[in-house]
Amino acid sequence: MMLWAGVVLAGGVGAVLRFLVDRAVARRLARGFPFGTLVVNLTGSVVLGLLSGLALSPQWGLLVGTALVGSYTTFSTWMLETQRLAEEHQRLPAGANIVVGVVLGLAAALLGQALGGRL
């Protein structure tokens, strides 16, 4: 029961952090490109890679990886923003959002994993 209470709490914290980071980045870089979501997903990828490199127990992996980082990062918002860009005929930014998100996300996860493996 304590694990599930931790999942609920960590999930809430992750969602609030996502909102705060996204808004802070969007305020500073108010443009048509969804930089806030990109920053959230890249920082989440680093953290998830770091956790993977640390080889946490299944309970801690669920709590921190799935609940906290899973609620912090956002695939659905990333795709919705990509669709919005495409609907607005901003095909280059829409394609860039996908490519940059995947390439930098993978690089961020690998960086985090390498860092976690050294700790």
Q: What is the pLDDT at residue 103?
A: 98
For 50-82, the pLDDT digits (tens) are 999 998 888 888 889 999 999 999 999 999 999
Question: Any binding-site annotation on 73?
Answer: yes
Chain centroid to CA 40: 4
DSSP 62: I
Least-confidence region, from 29-33, 47-51, 113-117: 29-33
CB-CB contact of 39 with 93 (8 Å): no
Question: Any binding-site annotation on 82?
Answer: no
Q: What is the pLDDT at residue 59?
A: 86
For 4-14, the pLDDT digits (tens) are 899 999 999 99
Mean pLDDT of 80-106: 97
